[in-house]
């Protein structure tokens, strides 16, 4: 088995601030994902990475940057936090990007912007 660790668990930011979320996995999976979960809107993909140093945009990439410098880690940056924004950011990984591979999720980072 393995685990996905997301840090921090809770993040409180100020409007306009740049905020970075981190994700580590020890599954030795090739592919990693960042999803955003808003109440009533399900999960929406922000970025994914097929392998180290690869980045692919999802449906919600505007306002975010991502970085995959190592196979085991994937970070997400909110480039300018929006006032009153509240969401959970979920990191996930899969063995590779084959269509039948299950996603394994971390517990999430909960963001609040004042």
Q: Which residues bind another protein (CB under 8 A)?
A: 4, 33, 35, 40-45, 48, 58-59, 90, 92, 97, 99-100, 102-108
Nearest to 6 by CA among 104, 89, 101: 89
Least distance between another protein and beta carbon 19 (Å) = 19
CB 90 within 8 A of CB 37: yes
Least distance between another protein and beta carbon 91 (Å) = 8
| Phi (first) and psi of residue 16, to 5 degrees | 85, -5
Comparing CB distances to another protein, the nearer of 44 and 71 is 44
Least distance between another protein and beta carbon 85 (Å) = 19
Comparing CB distances to another protein, the nearer of 80 and 110 is 110
Comparing CB distances to another protein, the nearer of 41 and 83 is 41
CB 32 within 8 A of CB 49: yes
Instruction: Tell me how far apart the alpha carbons of residues 76 and 48 are, in angstroms, rounded to a whole number.
Output: 10
């Amino acid at each position: 088995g393995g685990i996905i660790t997301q840090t921090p668990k809770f993040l409180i930011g100020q409007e306009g601030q740049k905020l970075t979320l981190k994700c580590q996995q020890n599954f030795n999976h090739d592919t990693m994902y960042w999803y955003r979960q808003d109440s009533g809107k399900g999960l929406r993909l922000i970025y994914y990475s097929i392998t180290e140093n690869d980045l692919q945009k999802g449906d919600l990439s505007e306002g975010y940057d991502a970085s995959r410098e190592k196979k085991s880690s994937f970070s997400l940056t909110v480039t300018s936090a929006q006032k009153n924004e509240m969401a959970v950011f979920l990191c996930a990984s899969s063995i590779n990007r084959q269509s039948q591979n299950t996603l394994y999720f971390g517990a999430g980072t909960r963001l609040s912007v004042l």
